[in-house]
């Protein structure tokens, strides 16, 4: 019966899925740039920061 069907929730259209994926990739790239930036500046400002005694 129709009444007992499981609710499907919100179903994204293909366009919405595509845009969400593009936004996710952009956020990932931005975070990647931030990581690389911090790593590069750490090397520039002093490689000794990477040598940490136990």
Partner 1 sequence: MSVIDHNAIDLPRISEASVADYIALLKPRVMSLVIFTALVGLVIAPGHFHPVLAFTSILCIAVGAGASGALNMWYESDIDALMSRTANRPIPRGRVTRPEALAFGMVLAFFSVMTLGILVNWLAGGLLAFTIFFYVVIYTMLLKRWTAQNIVIGGAAGALPPVVAWAAATGSLAVEPLLLFLIIFFWTPPHFWALALFRNDDYARAGVPMLPVVAGPDATRLQILLYTIVLVAVAVAPWPLGYFDAVYGIASLLLGSWMLVLAVQVYQRREGTAALRATRKLFAFSILYLFALFATLLVEVVARAVAPSIW
Q: How near is the Cβ of 54 to partner 1 at its closest, in Å?
A: 25
Residue ranges in 15-54 that form contacts with partner 1 under rule CB under 8 A: 15-16, 19-20, 22-23, 26, 34, 37-38, 40-41, 44-45
Question: Distance (Å, rounded) from C-alpha 50 to C-alpha 10?
Answer: 47
Question: Distance (Å, rounded) from C-alpha 35 to C-alpha 39?
Answer: 6
Question: Distance (Å, rounded) from C-alpha 29 to C-alpha 32?
Answer: 5
Q: Give the interface with partner 1 as residue ranges (CB under 8 A).
A: 10, 12, 15-16, 19-20, 22-23, 26, 34, 37-38, 40-41, 44-45
């Amino acid at each position: 019966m129709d009444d007992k069907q499981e609710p499907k929730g919100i179903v994204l259209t293909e366009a919405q899925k595509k845009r969400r994926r593009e936004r996710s990739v952009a956020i990932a790239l931005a975070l990647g740039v931030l990581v690389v930036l911090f790593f590069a500046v750490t090397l520039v400002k002093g490689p000794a920061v990477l040598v940490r005694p136990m």
